[in-house]
Amino acid sequence: MYGMRILLSTLAAALVACSGGLDEPVPSGKTGGGTTPTPDPEPSGETGREEGWLKADGKDAATYSLITACGYNYETPDKSGAHASAPFRHITQSYDTQLKSNVFNFILHIENDDDRGKTDVTDRQRNEIKTDSGSPASMVALKAGETLVIKWKFRLPAGMKTTTSFSHLHQLKGIDNSAGTADVSQPLVTFTARTVSGGQEFQIIYNAPHSTKADYLFKCDLADFLGQWVSVEETVKCDTEGSYSVVIRRCSDGKVLATLTDVKRNLWRDGTTGIRPKWGLYRSFGEKRSNASQLRDETLQFADFYVGHK
């Protein structure tokens, strides 16, 4: 009986952390003249339960339990390389003085970490969270025609290193079917940081069905993002005749860094059982580690995830 009381208490704490507290206003990246975000109205479609939210609660040791209790999942290199004998938790929590709240830290080590322990994948590494087929129905577009509203905040570290290959920060992807035949190898939409001639860029990329060709929806100087908290709000109609909108604002002054409105694209995938988001750092270091010397250990920070239907 005592053990049952402890379990119920733990689950209740996790549910409160997912919602941020029933009386707490929903956060935003907008500012009211200072560096502290001011609250937005509750996301469209919410019913007061605040399902879909994942907010850091400051209980660092229980970070993974919080992630899964809120309907999300994670893919981390906790047992890769030298971590096999001494596992290292790659998603932690800390308190941020600008947001005045707890946030998530996503850590990648360039000399050690891999891609989900896959021995046949030797040119890349990842540390990500996502929604998936195990998430509540409200956190995934399960059929064509549904619209997802996706919100979060992130901060790229000052001096972040990139290459001409990919350093993905966010993706919208299809969920494979039980037969493994869905067109899900390429994402629909990707945020990436990349080295280009003359500097570094933040890019928003679209991939059409059955295509690896990048359709660049947006590009800007990465410098506007480095060392700065930004807020993101996406609205995605997940359909063959779909549409994509996004606004990215800098939290310190409310400046809009990127905006796309009602961009018409095919935002479904053949055979998929749903569309879902991912966040974190998924990067290439090249065949035979050819680009590893251009990269370093990085810690990206994320906060206040929300996924729901419009």
CATH of the domain at 205: 2.60.120.200
Question: Which of these ranges, 47-56, 174-183, 256-265, has the smallest mean pLDDT?
Answer: 47-56
17 secondary structure, DSSP code: H
Residues of the domain holding 26: 2-309
Q: Is 125 strand, coil or helix?
A: strand
Instruction: Quickly count: other Cβ atoms within 10 Å of residue 71's Cβ.
Output: 21
- Annotate 193-219 with b (16+ C-beta within 10 A) or e (fewer): bbbeeeebbbbbbbbebeeeeeeebbe
Residues 56-84, mean pLDDT to the nearest whole number: 97
| Residue 4 reports pLDDT greater than 60 | no
CA distances from 257 to 214, 231, 293 (A): 21, 10, 30
**Domain count within the chain:** 1
Residues 261-267, mean pLDDT to the nearest whole number: 98
Residues 110-117, mean pLDDT to the nearest whole number: 96
| Residue 127 reports pLDDT greater than 60 | yes
Handedness of CA 190, 293, 121, 108 (dihedral sign): negative
Give the per-residue pLDDT at 23: 30
Handedness of CA 294, 298, 304, 308 (dihedral sign): positive
The residue behind tokens 């946030």 is 103
Amino acid letter, 227: G
Give the per-residue pLDDT at 18: 66
Q: What is the mean pLDDT of the chain?
A: 88
Handedness of CA 77, 128, 125, 197 (dihedral sign): negative
Give the per-residue pLDDT at 176: 97
Q: Is 207 strand, coil or helix?
A: strand
Give the per-residue pLDDT at 198: 87
Task: Identify whether the C-beta of residue 77 lies closer than 8 Å to the C-beta of residue 115.
Answer: yes
Record the pTM: 0.86
Give the per-residue pLDDT at 50: 85
Residues 8-37, mean pLDDT to the nearest whole number: 40
Over residues 154-186, the pLDDT tens digits come to 999 999 999 999 999 999 999 999 999 999 999
Contacts (Cβ under 8 Å, ≥6 apart) of 191:
168, 169, 170, 171, 202, 203, 204, 205
40 secondary structure, DSSP code: P
Question: Which of these ranges, 12-26, 189-203, 254-268, 285-299, has the smallest mean pLDDT?
Answer: 12-26
Grade residue 17 by pLDDT with cuts at 50, 70 and 90: low
